[in-house]
Structure 1
């Protein structure tokens, strides 16, 4: 049975399910094909996809980052706070960029040098980022964009040749991540680290510095997602850090076909997983399912995706010894 499952292409299966769901929702759910709903779907899918790219980089390198859902709203809210206080947008962006780079360096250092498992290091760091942000950076929960005609405010709400700008940002982030992972030496190092960390060290890959670079890149992508969300919704709420959205991001990555064992998958898997989860979440919202029911359904889907990942990407004894995230 495992041999038969290994022959399946999870990416194609998930894409087919996404297309079928889109068609069914279009026929059965009133308002699904309305311009307003499709715009909302595109914005939500784009933000989820950008975060999915960040999480994919973590998981491919045999890690995980639970702090991105704190890094995203806190950094974006601080940027807006600085801009609303009169600071030029460029300088405010540099400050926010410096903050997320510091978060990434701390995450990477805790994982690479202190050797705390990634799941615990990033979980704790997410709490620290949210608490630090509330205490010293953005004491109010919601920060709104000011009125302005700058290009900055069109990042999440504008259009280029009729295409919503969040989709363009998602495409650019996905393309950059694809080129990084597939064509640049650091990207190939991340695949090597994810496939076999011990062999990566033996072959001379600078594993510890690469882990730090890995988490810095993840934090920068989280800032980009935060800017897209803030400019699309005319503001951002830091309490998003307390939501369960991080599980949606993990679901996108695992369901798309990126193995939790590390070293496998790519950005195309993220795009496919994002389409399915985005359509599913939008459909459940239109059906007016309660938050509890939606959470149960997402949890079941995540569990099934993890089971499928275990069958499709079984761990051998060496992987089991070195592959815990």
Structure 2
């Protein structure tokens, strides 16, 4: 990729996390690695401008998540609520210390500067980000105990926290605008694949989460729901719960495949099979990437 594109991405990353990155060879190598990751996950995307904006979303998503994790619970809830109001069109300025909102709003501005986006696409991108923020807010309310601490509740927001919708909204700018029925089906498929990815992360990251005392994991949520603080019971039932969550993952994949075939059978004037193929393939590529980055014994198909 031309150095100008890498320079652009590096400038954005320095903007959203000032002081964390320097003008070093390692920093530029990380930028190239992020673009390479986008090419791996989305091999059919050939536009360099789209690739860079997708890499910018990857960077913004990670940076926003890091910032949120650095905040106390109540401060995180406040930052998310303020960000959601702003994304909904609120006119009030965001708080000076709300770095979370600043990162996400900077991404919006970056895309507007580098791509000729229609008003409809800008609105959809803003809605995508808002959807992720709502999922993250539900996660914090879950941690706080405001939402029921059940696996059913957890699964309602797990996929939304992944924030994959902006990737596909950007991809669709390379294609003719789809008809409303087809677009609705694509969004439903994205939502299903989002949950698949979230469950893959939970299963692959289970050992690390247990080691760090992290509770936001489908296996651990189900474990706590079923046996509470009984350590001996937890050890006995853990393998069963892992297989249960694997089963949920596999059923979600099957549902996604069914949605994919349903999209192919739609009677719609404007639709491109590349779009639904990109979405479904993301689940497979993501799982392979997870498996290569960390060994895990549970069988996920």
TM-score by length of 1: 0.30
TM-score by length of 2: 0.32
Greater RCO, 1 or 2 (C-alpha within 8 Å, sep 6+): 1
